[in-house]
Amino acid sequence: MGETVEVKRKTAADAVYEQLKEDIITLYYKPGEKLSEVKIAQRYNVSRDPVRKGISRLVQEGLLVSKPQYGTIVCGLSVKQGQEICDIRLILEVYAIKMAIGHIPEEKLAVLLEDLGKAKKALAQDSDEATNLIYKLDGEMHAAIWDFCGNSMIGNIIKSYDSIVRRIQISNIMYHERKQGTMAEMEEIIIALRNNNEKRAEDAMRLHITNIKKTLVQTNEIKMEEE
């Protein structure tokens, strides 16, 4: 038998880091918000030491910034960085959807169509669940395209910007009337995939990402006007 390898258990600091990162990405803690170690410790039911360690890691990753004499704040979404990532996605995802046509299994398309129906219903009823369902569907749809486009590197490249991409997705969905627009765009993409319509799918994906890019600029302009 080989040597014994000790499996490291998740520490409190690891757990805080993961949950705090998720809360930042999903905009529970919003860009520009000042964080309180005491309140975070209370929220996660831990001492302040693992909170400090989690914050330190997120400062290194660029999701938080520590300002002397002031405290720790959540980094804003860089419009320039977001636009550049959208440009990368335009190249990769328009190509990916073209290559994925006809290769996504019927059962996967059926799940996307079912979740599309749930999200549309929640949005029509102005349900509190609408945002979560739209975000879930958006992630499922893009992942299906990456998984079945025949090029695993496309998904890997986009996932390497996961924190930024997810913050952009959520801010896009939460921006004023973008829920309706996002739903319409995703429906067009999913229907094109179901019908194996390559041209329609490419055009729909191109419009979807272009509108996300536009929303980044519009959101920033509104924020500047409010400040």
Q: How many beta carbons lie within 10 A of that of residue 97, not counting itself?
A: 28
pLDDT of residue 6: 53
Q: What is the pLDDT along the chain (227 residues), one digit of tens a residue?
A: 456 555 456 789 999 999 999 999 888 898 889 999 999 999 999 999 999 999 999 999 889 999 888 899 998 878 888 899 999 999 999 999 999 999 999 999 999 999 999 999 999 998 889 888 998 999 999 999 999 999 999 999 998 888 888 888 887 777 656 889 999 999 999 999 999 999 999 999 999 999 988 888 776 654 544 44
pLDDT of residue 199: 97
- In one-letter notation, the amino acid at residue 59 is V
The domains of the chain, with CATH numbers, are 12-74 (1.10.10.10), 79-226 (1.20.120.530)
pLDDT of residue 162: 85
**String of DSSP letters for the chain:** -----PPPPPPHHHHHHHHHHHHHHTTSSPTTPEE-HHHHHHHHT--HHHHHHHHHHHHHHTSEEEETTTEEEEPPPPHHHHHHHHHHHHHHHHHHHHHHTTTS-HHHHHHHHHHHHHHHHHHHTT-TTHHHHHHHHHHHHHHHHHHTSS-HHHHHHHHTTHHHHHHHHHHHHHSTTHHHHHHHHHHHHHHHHHTT-HHHHHHHHHHHHHHHHHHHHHHHHHHHHH-
- In one-letter notation, the amino acid at residue 62 is G
